[in-house]
Amino acid sequence: MMRIGMMLGLIAILAGHAGAELTPGTARLTLQAFDPGKNLVTNGSFETEVNGIPTGWLWDRRNTDATLTFDTQNPHTGRASIKITNGTAFGAHVFGTLWVASPIPVKPNTRYTYSASVKTAGTLPGVWIGGGEGWKIRLGLPATYGRWQRISRTFVTGERETTFQLRICTERPTEAIWIDDLSLREGERPVPACLDGVSPSTFLDLVPPAPPEVTHRGQTFATRWAPERWPCDTWTFCADEFKAEGVVVVDDASRPADVKVTLSDGAGNVVASQHATLAAGDKTARLMLRCHLGDRRPEKLDWKLHLIRDGQTLTSNTGTVNVVSAPRVRAAVTPVVAARDRLRTAVEQLEQRGLGAASRVTLTVLENFVPWVDADLAVGRIDRAWDTVYLLQQMAAREEARAQAILNGQATDFPVPRYATSPLEISRAQTIGTRRHPDGRTERGPVLFTGYGHFSQVRKDVEKLPGYGCNIIQVEFGPHSVLPQEDETSDRAINEFLALCDRAAQANVSVNLLLSPHYFPQWALKKWPELADCRGGFFNFCVHDPRARAVLEKSLRQVIPRVMNHPALHSVCLSNEPICVDLSACRITAKTWPAWLEKRHGTIAALNVRWNTTYADFASIPVPAPAFEATPACLDFIRFNSETFADFHRWMADLVHEMAPNLAVHAKIMMGAHFHKTLHGVWSVDPEAFAALSQYNGNDTYCMYNKTGGMWNNGWRHCQAGYDYQRSMADLSVVNSENHLIDDRDVSVIPPAHLYATLWQNAIHGQSATTIWVWERCNDDVSDLAGSILHRPDCVEAVGRCGLDLNRLAHEIAAIQNLAPEVVLLWSRSSLVLGTDHAPVLNDTYEAANFLGRPLGFASERKLEEAARTGVLPRPLDTAKVLLLPQVTHLPDAAREGIEKLRAAGVHVVTIGAVPTHNDCNQTRDIQNLETLAKPRDARALFPLLTARAAAWGLPPTPQVTDTAGQPLFGVEIRSAPYQSGVVASVCNHLREPQSISIEGLPAGSRTDLITGRTLGDTITAEPMVPLLIRAPGK
């Protein structure tokens, strides 16, 4: 029988008995009858159908070729299951769905668990089960390799959620998946499939208990570390006591039955044998086995389960579990320590030759993570300690062999120039500093800064960071530390920061200071409570109130003169994830909003015509609540809010520059939110306005590894499009000072290649500095720090190695960073607010255009208006060959004039999807003779349309990735630039599978991957998330 690998934590009713002390060598088996509760899903076992659709369900394949089959040949239980296939490529809003015809009644703020039996192939099928408000509850189907597997998900309903619309969605190609035994029950424990079939059947199971999930803000999170490597049903992590639990079900409960379990070690020696009686009348019971292992530490346990009545076996089950205890972990550390010590000797020998930088990163990881194994064991995190040892074993063995091969002349290594504390200059996308080579030579040149933030651990470890391959940190303190009372100032935080900078300067680590105005003094809020009338994100006070600004100014004037000349200071970050959301009760805004409207529109009559309203005067126009509406009034408020919020940051920047004219400033705006209609982005933040007040394009952007299947390995578009947008607004380098590469509270396996590829691609698209969230360790499962990179030695190593490669190849990367955009996409705020589908079509267009091999840029409506007003094409329109308008339905009249200026200058203007038939007041406008491409199904469908038109748009020849048949290849990115006497080309495969590629247009002759030193042939295997930097001689 199948084992239920995800079920059944300790139950309260057994707590007293189960918690009783066991002595070494003893065991105890307990049974407790339970009521499985009602399955709230109608026909969840899919036993009946009407016209091929399960009774009580609705099916719509929508814009896919997905099929639904009522399959009587492949049931898990009962007579039928459902089978779903899909051949349609992934795309925005592209899916087929099966859902319950009647929403399921639920209670607000209540835990529910849904379960299903699923059978899929050997790849992730791109199908999820879930639903609820906003369809936020989702459980992706795993790859089961043709076997039935039970899956489940626990969630908490919303505060006002009284119904749950359960659905199944298929979002990408899958050959076939089967689903059966679908249930939804109140509570947090799934039940076996036999209880969700037509009638319960005799069943017996036993598995190690899965660590309990935790809930945070309505979401549930697993707590087993790296469950992909150490599945809960086959691995258990315990101290002295082994525990297992399961369920027994009988179809005939008229007489009692006995459950017998025998545990034996891997050699067949019996460890424990127990039995318990299931009373007559009890059809279902939970069972729990406890066994005190004493001094016996078997690495495997086998069990045999029997359900017996009247001497006859009704059913049986067997299983094996790997057992990991603290002594086993400590034993596994011993060879790691020996390998670490041998590697240290080899690294010292390599460094005498000017080599070994990458090996030093691995050694630093080993030196610091070995002690953390004991720290994890001390707090009972045996699973995390075991996973760390497993990774350290692999890293130590690999790097020891590599180091010896380099010493023996059998492998290649490279000398790496490192940043030395020095004055910094900004030159386009580059930060120029002093680079020190292993032989002691120094030079001024581009430095790429890679490091971490943001709290105490990074302060402690600043001297260690160069060993990790890193050279920058971000730390913070704010006004509440500087102004603890109205009549009191404190230098403590400033002095601590300067002491940190002294250490950092000695260690050749640069420091980015986050000024954190959101740490606003409580005494000021208490004195002026009305400051809290407007809020947004981290800001809990009105940034427009002169009293609040006076507090901030007093703090800045205390801080900036003290820190501005420190040689370790990289820059200051003005604010953390700034947004300004709710101004509806703000007394300042109540005055400035009407004044802004009068300045913009002139007369109330003109405003009423443009808004289609009947206001008597400007003063009667209220400040709107924070909610998007497809109206010119909403669009105007977004303009007003983003202008005034940027003005606040400009006020801060001007204050800083009054005291420190050469100190670079930036702000941590959330670029991932910019392209969508969200209160965390466009509602208050205009990257173009922030670029105008900054010396770096600052941001807080994310790129997460994609564990749910789909086309892409990770969310590369979020970073790259954001970077390309910011660099189009101003030709400045990007500082991502809170780089989110791992989801908070994610304890699953994250491939180190994801971090390397993301950092590499970010640099290619203009990043000169980044501090990764977050350099902290944590034992609180619901903390934002849980699951962080500092628990992942392989990921830390990947970050350091990428940092080394970026600086070794900084000149080549700079050549690519400085490429001028040739293909430009229009981001239209008017279309985003007033129209439909601008955001998803923009996303598809960016993804498709990204594989043309051309540098991409973005234009804003303001850029077009500037072209109309001045007659001069601003960046990036001045180098554009083609301007793409993705589902741009609305454009201000002045922006339309800018388009005509572009066309007159020979720039091709191409609409994708709808044409702009309205202006920003929703008034009809005509625009003629635009080339139009049909709205794409997805990026893959759009790509060949773009490649077919590239030559007609005047795009000059450039190296292009092709498949083995010579056709342009979607999914593998290339950016190339002339460099010295040849060409350098950065290539990255964003797809999930390796691609066999050729590169048309590269000069003939030998080609070398500068990252690895490998010589490449005409055909190259591009591995997923493994960048190449190809050097080809000649033009």
Rounded CA separation 419/357 (Å): 13
CATH number where 305 lies:
2.60.40.10
319 and 336 within one domain: no
Rounded CA separation 994/859 (Å): 34
- Between 1011 and 175, the more confident residue is 1011
The average pLDDT across 61-78 equals 93
Do the Cβ atoms of 157 and 112 come closer than 8 Å?
yes
Q: Look at residue 289 and give its three-state secondary structure.
A: strand
Domain boundary among 324, 354, 386: 324
- Nearest Cα neighbor of 1001 from 970, 1023, 1025, 978 is 978
159 and 236 within one domain: no
CB count in 10 Å sphere of residue 443: 10
Domain boundary among 304, 324, 344: 324
946 and 841 within one domain: yes
Do the Cβ atoms of 458 and 511 come closer than 8 Å?
no
Rounded CA separation 40/113 (Å): 11
The pLDDT > 90 percentage for the chain reads: 85
Rounded CA separation 936/942 (Å): 5
399 and 292 within one domain: no
Do the Cβ atoms of 667 and 575 come closer than 8 Å?
yes
Task: List the end-to-end C-alpha distance of the chain, in Å, as a whole number.
Answer: 66
CB count in 10 Å sphere of residue 1021: 12
Q: Residue with structure tokens 């906003």?
A: 134
Residue 144 located in a structural domain: yes
Strand segments, DSSP code E, in 120-172 are 127-131, 137-140, 148-156, 163-164, 166-170
Q: What's the mean pLDDT when you consider all of the chain?
A: 94
Amino acid at 767: Q
pLDDT band (50, 70, 90) for residue 409 = very high
Q: How many Å is the Cα radius of gyration of the chain?
A: 31
Which residues on neighbouring strands pair with residue 277, listed in sequence order? 258
Two structure tokens written together for 460: 């402690």
Residue 733 has pLDDT above 90, yes or no: yes
172 and 56 within one domain: yes
Q: Which domain holds residue 65?
A: 49-190
The average pLDDT across 451-455 equals 97
Lowest-confidence pick of 215-219, 377-381, 489-493, 885-889: 215-219
Residue 563 located in a structural domain: no
75 and 176 within one domain: yes
Amino acid at 717: R
Do the Cβ atoms of 598 and 704 come closer than 8 Å?
no
Tens-digit pLDDT profile for residues 324-368: 999 999 999 999 999 999 999 999 999 999 999 999 999 999 999
Name the strand (E) or helix (H) holding 460: helix 456-460
Residue 190: per-residue pLDDT? 81
Residue 11 has pLDDT above 70, yes or no: no
Sign for the pseudo-dihedral over CA of 462, 464, 465, 466: positive
Domain boundary among 397, 413, 429: 413
Name the strand (E) or helix (H) holding 361: helix 357-378
Tens-digit pLDDT profile for residues 472-527: 999 999 999 999 999 999 999 999 999 999 999 999 999 999 999 999 999 999 99
Q: Look at residue 999 and give its three-state secondary structure.
A: strand
Rounded CA separation 895/927 (Å): 12
The average pLDDT across 370-379 equals 98
Tens-digit pLDDT profile for residues 82-127: 999 998 877 667 899 999 999 999 999 998 999 999 999 877 888 9
CATH number where 983 lies:
2.60.40.1180
- Provide the total of helices (H) and of strands (E) in the chain, helices listed first: 22, 49
Read off φ and ψ for residue 151, nearest 5 degrees.
-125, 155
Which residues on neighbouring strands pair with residue 771, listed in sequence order? 451
Q: What is the dihedral of CA 563, 567, 568, 569, to 10 degrees?
A: 50
| Pairing, β 166-170 against β 96-100 | antiparallel
Tens-digit pLDDT profile for residues 191-232: 887 777 656 788 898 889 888 888 888 777 889 999 999 998
Residue 17 has pLDDT above 80, yes or no: no
3-state secondary structure 905-973: CCCEEEEECCCCCECCCCCECCCCCCEEECCCCCHHHHHHHHHHHCCCCCCCCCCEEECCCCCECCCEE
The average pLDDT across 863-888 equals 98
CB count in 10 Å sphere of residue 924: 7
Read off φ and ψ for residue 525, nearest 5 degrees.
-70, -35
186 and 77 within one domain: yes
Residue 993 located in a structural domain: yes
Residue 647: per-residue pLDDT? 98
Rounded CA separation 270/196 (Å): 35
Residue 297 located in a structural domain: yes
233 and 111 within one domain: no
Burial 659-695 (b: 16+ CB within 10 A, else e): ebeebbbbbbbbbbbbbeeebbbbbbbbbbbbbebbb
Read off φ and ψ for residue 492, nearest 5 degrees.
-60, -50
Do the Cβ atoms of 3 and 234 come closer than 8 Å?
no
Residue 212 located in a structural domain: no
Q: Does residue 281 come out as left (phi exceeding 0), alpha (psi in the -120 to 50 range) or beta?
A: left
- Between 38 and 3, the more confident residue is 38
320 and 300 within one domain: yes
Residue 659: per-residue pLDDT? 98
Residue 1016 located in a structural domain: yes
Q: Does residue 589 come out as left (phi exceeding 0), alpha (psi in the -120 to 50 range) or beta?
A: alpha
> Domain tally for the chain?
5
CB count in 10 Å sphere of residue 553: 15
Per-residue DSSP letter, 66: -
Per-residue DSSP letter, 855: -
Sign for the pseudo-dihedral over CA of 427, 428, 433, 439: negative
Residue 455: per-residue pLDDT? 97
Distances (CA, A) of 1001 to 369, 960, 980, 1033: 46, 6, 17, 12
Tens-digit pLDDT profile for residues 928-948: 889 999 988 889 999 999 999
1032 and 941 within one domain: no
904 and 967 within one domain: no
854 and 939 within one domain: yes
Q: Look at residue 97 and give its three-state secondary structure.
A: strand
- Nearest Cα neighbor of 125 from 181, 168, 172 is 172
Residue 304 located in a structural domain: yes
Do the Cβ atoms of 101 and 155 come closer than 8 Å?
no
Rounded CA separation 1031/801 (Å): 20
Sign for the pseudo-dihedral over CA of 828, 830, 835, 839: positive
Residue 413: per-residue pLDDT? 97
Q: Does residue 617 come out as left (phi exceeding 0), alpha (psi in the -120 to 50 range) or beta?
A: beta
Residue 1 has pLDDT above 60, yes or no: no
Does the N-terminal peptide bond of residue 774 adopt cis geometry, omega within 30 degrees of 0? Answer: yes
Residue 782 located in a structural domain: no
Residue 869 has pLDDT above 90, yes or no: yes
Residue 44: per-residue pLDDT? 93
CATH number where 110 lies:
2.60.120.260
